[in-house]
Amino acid sequence: MPDELGFIGVGRMGAPMAGRLLDAGHRLTIFDVSDAAMAPLLARQARQARSVKELASSVETVLVSLPTPDIVRATALDAEGVVAGTKVKTFIDLSTTGPRVVATIAEGLAKKGIAMVDAPMSGGVAGAEKGTLAVMAACSPPLFEQVKSVLGVFGKVFHVGEKPGMGQVMKLANNLISATTMAISSEAIVMGVKAGLDPAVMVDVINAGSGRNASTQDKFPRAILPRTFDFGFATGLMYKDVRLCLEEAEAQQVPMWVGSAVRQLWQFVNADRGPTSDFTTIVQCIEKWAGVEVKSRR
């Protein structure tokens, strides 16, 4: 894998990942619509491209970390997008884009001889900063061998399939489970609080028993019990991931009774708290209905 890479989208997730590439000794050309987002990386000697096309004309490998499927598609396939670059050979999508959009992107890029690596990640901003993300790569085995050292900078790399889109299915399955544990843990703990239990004690008991999950182990202690609601993942993005998962399940004719209920709840939270709110604010919706507050007495 060449030492010189391009990175598009250096926001909350992209910035720490790009920083880790610099730490690993890679030369990096970056592009983002926000000058402020690029500034810290430019201070570390990253190069700035003036456009997506310019970036894709200066490096062979382009990584993208972008918020929505439409933005990823446009970045890849628009007339001034990656597909118009004169040097790029490999496009690595680190975003949660959805399998059907990824298939469209891969097909469009292939017409210009650009190979696609579908490589969404799980682990949040903290994982991006620490290099402990789970990377779910889907591409041909030879291409995986070429890119796995770069992806390994971000965390533990899994080759989940040979077809772009399979990484997306893996990510959506993971995030549906994450969204579900956040929803059901919030409901259960609000119920306990209304019955008179201390939520901090509840979290300790759950984490020592069979109910423990990533939400009770991480989200509640870090962002809900202290009432900071700053875990670092937006409600709008969580709702998007659940929606994409349910759309894929419907396309595959797989029933999702629980998933449908989870989608409805996240749709409400997205409307009530706003898409830019932290996704841990889901508990505030349930608190409001129950007339209690999840706050430790300690």
Residues 6+ apart with CB under 8 A from 72: 64, 66, 93, 95, 97, 101, 105
**Sign (positive or negative) of CA dihedral 224, 228, 232, 234:** positive
Q: How far apart are CA 73 and CA 52, in angstroms?
A: 12
Q: Is 248 helix (H, G, I), strand (E, B) or coil?
A: helix
DSSP 59: -
| Rg of the chain over all Cα atoms, to the nearest angstrom | 20
* Structural tokens at position 293: 């507050």
CB count in 10 Å sphere of residue 228 = 11
Is 171 one of the catalytic residues? Answer: yes
Residue for token pair 């890119």:
147
Catalytic option among 171, 194, 219, 288: 171
> CB-hemisphere CA count at 13 Å for 102?
30
**Sign (positive or negative) of CA dihedral 202, 204, 205, 206:** positive
Largest CA distance in the chain: 65
Cα 44 → chain centroid = 25
Cα 270 → chain centroid = 17
Q: How far apart are CA 281 and CA 264, in angstroms?
A: 16
Q: Active-site residue numbers?
A: 171
